Amino acid sequence: MTKDATVIVEALHTAQSMMTALEISPRWTPDTAWSSPWVFRGQREDAWGLMPAAWRNDNTIQIQRLARLRQGFAEQFESHIREQLERNPNLKEANAEFVVKSYSQARAEFALILEFIRLADELGHSVPGMDTYLRLASHDYLPDIRNFPHVRLLPEMNPAAALAQHHGIPTRSMDWTRNPLYAAYFAASEVSTTSNDGNIAVWAIRPDYMRTQGAADHHNTGYTRFMDHTVPNSDNRYLHSQEGLFIHPTYGCAYCARTGEFASLEAFAVAVERELSAPTIRKLTLPYSEVGELLRLLWLKGVSRAHLMPTLDNVTKALCSRWQWVP
C-alpha cells in the first residue's frame, strides 16, 4: 500500500485479490455492525479524480451541449452581473469573471436537465419531481448577486435530476453504491478487450465522517463540503437495483464564485480524514489485463449490466459483454 499526496492507494494485481479486498470484512464493516458505513464508486481510469460529470471536459455530445449553453448564458448575463458587483460596495472585491463562470455553469446544468425532463414528459415517461424544474423554468430569472458568494442557482438534487443523470445527462452529483462489487463492475465494464496498459479504480468513502465534519464546521467557510443524499428508490429503478446514492458539492456555486475552480471531493475527504484521524477515503486499483477475469468473477456473483440496469436491452448487452471476454 502506498500513499500519494492526497489519497491512500492500494494497488492490486489479480482479479481475485480485488474480489477479496472488496468482500464484507472488518475493513469495510465494523464488528457487530449490520451495515457498512462505506460507499463505493468505480472508474475506468485510476488517474481520474472524483469529478462530477457536469464539470468534466469530456468530448461527449452532452458536454459539448453544456459548453454551448454555458457560453450563451455568460454572454447574456455578464454585463448584468458586473453591474451588480460594481453597484454594491460590499462586493467590490469579488472577482466578476468567477461569478459569471459560476452563474453560467449552474444555469447551463439546469437547462440541460430541463431539456431531458421536457422531452421525456412529452413522450409519456413518468418523471417524478419534474414540477420543481418546470416551476423555476417558468420564470426567466436573473442572477441575484446580493447573496454573493452564495450564488444558489440550482434546486436540491431531486428524483427528476437523478433520473436525468441515470440516463446520460451530466449533473454535479456523483453516483455511488453501497455495494463494492457493483462499483467494481462499473469500473471494469467500460474497459474493452483492446484497451492498452492501464488500471481501473474502485474508490471508497465514509460519508458519515464527512457529515461529522460538516456538523462541526456548520458554516463551511471554505465552501468545500460534499454531502451524500438520495431520492426514493421507488422513483428510480436503476437506483434501487444499484443500491445507489449520490455525493453532491453542497456549495458548488459558492466555491466556484470565490475561486474560479470547482471543489474537489478528494481534497475534502482527505481534510476530514486528517481532522478526525480516521480512514475516510481509499482507492483500489487493478490492471486492465485482469478485467476479463474480474468480469467473470462478478458474473458468478450475479453482477452484470442486466442485473444493475434491468431492461431487456441490457440482457443482450450483458451477454455481448460476456461473449467479448470469452477466450
Three-state SS sequence of the chain:
CEECCCCEEEECCCHHHHHHHHCCCCCCCCCCCCCCCCEEEEECCCCCCCCCHHHCCCCCHHHHHHHHHHHHHHHHHHHHHHHHHHHCHHHCCCCHHHHHHHHHHHHHHHHHHHHHHHHHHHCCCCCCCHHHHHHHHCCCCCCCHHHCCCCCCCCCCCHHHHHHHHCCCCCCCEEEECCHHHHHHHHHHCCCCCCCCCEEEEEEECHHHHHHHHHHCCCCCCCCCEEEECCCHHHCHHHHHCCEEEEEECCHHHHHHHHCCCCCHHHHHHHHHHHHCCCCEEEEEEEHHHHHHHHHHHHHCCCCHHHHCCCHHHHHHHHHHHHHHCC
The predicted model scores a pTM of 0.88
| Residue 179 confidence (pLDDT) | 93
| Residue 4 confidence (pLDDT) | 46
In our burial notation (b when 16+ CB lie closer than 10 A, e otherwise), range 200-221 reads bbbbbbbbebbebbbeeeeeee
Tell me which residue of 284, 62, 325, 41 sits closest to 192, measured CA to CA: 325
In a domain, 29, yes or no: no
Question: Distance between CA atoms of 283 and 227, rounded to whole angstroms?
Answer: 19
Domain that holds residue 287: 2-24+39-325
Q: What confidence category does residue 3 fall into, taking pLDDT thresholds of 50, 70 and 90?
A: very low
In a domain, 110, yes or no: yes
| Residue 307 confidence (pLDDT) | 81
In a domain, 32, yes or no: no
The residue-averaged pLDDT of 88-109 equals 90
Q: What confidence category does residue 87 fall into, taking pLDDT thresholds of 50, 70 and 90?
A: confident
In a domain, 6, yes or no: yes
- Asked whether residue 1 carries a pLDDT value surpassing 60, the answer given is no
- Asked whether residue 174 carries a pLDDT value surpassing 70, the answer given is yes
In a domain, 101, yes or no: yes
Of the listed ranges 47-61, 171-185, 302-316, the least confidently predicted one is 302-316
* Phi, psi angle pair for 225, to nearest 5°: -70, 140
* Structural domain total, the chain: 1
| Residue 147 confidence (pLDDT) | 74
- Asked whether residue 292 carries a pLDDT value surpassing 90, the answer given is yes
Q: What percent of the chain clears pLDDT 70, i.e. is strictly above it?
A: 92
Of the listed ranges 91-100, 101-110, 151-160, 288-297, the least confidently predicted one is 151-160
The residue-averaged pLDDT of 155-182 equals 90
- Pairing mode of beta strands 281-287, 8-11: parallel
Q: Which three cell numbers stand for residue 40?
A: 463505493
Higher pLDDT pick, 250 / 2: 250
Of the listed ranges 101-105, 126-130, 150-154, 254-258, the least confidently predicted one is 150-154
In a domain, 289, yes or no: yes
- Asked whether residue 13 carries a pLDDT value surpassing 60, the answer given is yes
| Residue 306 confidence (pLDDT) | 82
Higher pLDDT pick, 216 / 174: 174
In our burial notation (b when 16+ CB lie closer than 10 A, e otherwise), range 161-194 reads bbbbbbeebbbbbbbbbbbbbbbbbbbbbebeee
The residue-averaged pLDDT of 163-179 equals 92
| Residue 327 confidence (pLDDT) | 67
The residue-averaged pLDDT of 134-139 equals 86
In a domain, 207, yes or no: yes
Question: Distance between CA atoms of 45 and 56, rounded to whole angstroms?
Answer: 14
| Residue 152 confidence (pLDDT) | 65
In a domain, 34, yes or no: no
The residue-averaged pLDDT of 197-202 equals 95
Q: What confidence category does residue 217 fall into, taking pLDDT thresholds of 50, 70 and 90?
A: low
Q: What confidence category does residue 93 fall into, taking pLDDT thresholds of 50, 70 and 90?
A: confident
Check if the beta carbon of residue 283 is closer than 8 Å to that of residue 40: no
When the pLDDT of each residue in the chain is averaged and rounded to a whole number, the result is 87
| Residue 57 confidence (pLDDT) | 87
Higher pLDDT pick, 144 / 106: 106
